[in-house]
Amino acid sequence: VNSIFWIPFVFGIGVLTCVSVLTSNARGAGDAQQARGSCRNGLYISLGTAACFLLIGLVSLPFLDRLGQPAAVVALSRPYLLVLMCSIVPGLASIALKNHADALDRPWPPFWIFLAGVAFNVWLNWVLIYGKWGAPEMGMMGAAWATLVSRILMFLAILFWLEKDRELQDWVPFTWFRKPTRGELLAHARIGVPASFQMLCEVAAFSAAGLMMGRFGEVSMAAHQIAMTCAGTAFMVPLGLSMALTVRTGAVTGSGETARLRGVVYSGWLLAGGFGALNALFFLVGGVFWARQFTTDLAVIQATAGLLSIVGVFQMFDSLQVASSSMLRGLHDTRVPALMGFVAYWLVGLPVAAWLSWHGPMAARGVWWGLATGLFIACVTLAPRLLHRLRKQELAIAVDAGL
């Protein structure tokens, strides 16, 4: 059920990167009206995207029993999935508003609101699942309702803050209800839809790798889950940096000072490469140490350490590719990077993973070497693409200056 839920949520997060880009463009240009439109249209897109997936979820509910799961699991999953799908609506709406605030250089208030929301969600899970504080004992349905309530409150909190923050008065929509134009929505979609496709390609590739690991036994699956947790945690820093780079690149582009872009790109690569190198050192040197934090089973520890060494190898590639991708997004270049991501992960990475693991002696390690190959291909294709876009920008400046 969670796998079904995360696909539309990841897609929605990718689509809403358009808000960061267009609001940062407007901020760089000093155009408050354009920024207000970006925020309002981003909210419309978030609600429309969530509504579409909610409708798809409702239509799909009767067919859950065809997934080969036990009847008891299907019976519990249907109401759980329905409530969880409803939570996508306030969840994506909150992300749209957060992206707008981030692009206006106000990331901290949304951060604290989201952090408080997570803490409240944990507490409400405990209350509703186990029937504490006079609440009914709801079991797994309590978790779904806790998620929905928490996301509604997070959305209302960030909306209230945006309305009351005096520094943002000119940059927040004066009215939230205005019919968007076709051109405005297309401008958002041209950036957001390819960006979401690129994001889904990477996420789905790692999910497919998990399915491939199933044939190698319980030890390999346990090691894979631990390695995924470690790799995902390490990725949070480059991911956060990439969000900042999207905003920075978008602001410089909007200001018209495109001569500064090369400095932004090189500093972004330097920071991403530095974090990647540090993460690589942690995994290459401390693989056994990190594995022991999750289990005492020696076989699982040994298998996990082997996978974490591969995670260490691709840290630089992963950090640099996500940095390049985010800066291309700030330049409104998303369609070609999306195609590059599809080729890297699905036409190269996963076939290499299948070949190394199924037709060679590497077994589970072959799957991760395939993922590393996909990340390497993404890195060495996205970086030249970014340099190409920089040269085009600089050539345009030279032509305008008559050089």
pLDDT tens column, 324-345: 999 999 999 999 999 999 999 9
Task: Name which of 111, 112, 120 is nearest 145 in CA terms.
Answer: 120
Q: Closest by alpha carbon to 322, among 235, 264, 196?
A: 235
SS3 content of the chain, % helix, strand, coil (to 5): 85, 0, 15
CA gap 139, 137 in Å, rounded: 6
SS3 176: coil
pLDDT grade for 228, boundaries at 50, 70 and 90 = very high
Condensed to tens digits (0 to 9), the pLDDT of residues 247-304 reads 999 999 998 887 889 999 999 999 999 999 999 999 999 889 999 999 888 999 999 9
pLDDT at 9 over 90: no
Region 11-38 average pLDDT: 94
pLDDT: which is higher, 182 or 270: 270
Comparing 175-189, 287-301, 310-324, the range with the smallest average pLDDT is 175-189
Mean pLDDT, rounded, of the chain: 90
Q: What integer pLDDT is reported at residue 319 of this predicted model? A: 96
Alpha-carbon torsion angle 79, 80, 85, 89, nearest 10: 100
Instruction: Return the closest-CA partner of residue 204 out of 10, 335, 400, 5.
Output: 10
Closest CA to 318 of 237, 375, 384: 375
Amino acid 363: pLDDT? 85
Confidence of residue 8 (pLDDT cuts 50, 70, 90): confident
Per the document, the length of the chain is 403
pLDDT in tens, 116-141: 999 999 999 999 989 888 888 888 78
Hey, what are 98's tokens?
Answer: 């957060």
Cα separation of 394 and 58, whole Å? 50
Q: Is the pLDDT of residue 2 over 80?
A: no
Average the pLDDT over 151-155 and give the result.
97
Q: How confident is the model at residue 65 (pLDDT cuts 50, 70, 90)?
A: low
